[in-house]
Amino acid sequence: MGSLSAEDGWRVFRDKFETLEHKFIPEIILSIKRKKPLWMTHKAHKIVSRKRQIYRKYKDTTHPAVIEASKAARREVKKAKKQFELKLAKILKRIGNRSSRMSGIRARVMGTLVPLQTAKESSLVIRKLKLKC
């Protein structure tokens, strides 16, 4: 190193540093945060966003436009949850208890959902499960 000029020494150091950096420092993988919950449909998300926008405009919960937007959002969210529950119930019914791995998935998903339907509406009602392992 003593016989190298300052620029040559710097290049050698920089190249060595970059190779070690690529070898030992892992690259960061950025996680993407969801803009909407998994159960929410695109239509429901748009209506809820619209409701927020209308509220920001009027800043009054008694304004007719805000009331109408809130009703529409509430109706669409309820519909989206119901569709998600039915879809999930079909999948879980098909899967059954094939393996303990599936039971773990079932417990994670089922623990986060609160049922919207009554027993009268459908036989595919989802309840919080207490799985026996």
* Element at 82 (helix H, strand E): helix 64-95
> Residue 104: its pLDDT value, please?
61
Contact predicate 54/65, CB 8 Å:
yes
Encode pLDDT of 71-124 as tens digits: 999 999 999 999 999 998 888 887 765 655 555 655 665 555 555 555 444 444
Contact predicate 121/81, CB 8 Å:
no
Contact predicate 133/106, CB 8 Å:
no
Q: Which of residues 120 and 8 earns the better pLDDT score? A: 8
Mark residue 12 as left, alpha or beta (left: phi above 0; alpha: psi -120 to 50; beta: remaining).
alpha
Q: For residue 28, give every residue at least 6 positions away whose Cβ sits within 8 Å of its Cβ, in sequence order, or none.
A: none
What is the pTM (predicted TM-score) of this model?
Answer: 0.52
Contact predicate 24/35, CB 8 Å:
no
CA–CA dist 74, 48 (Å, integer)? 8
Encode pLDDT of 37-73 as tens digits: 888 999 999 999 999 999 999 999 999 999 999 999 9
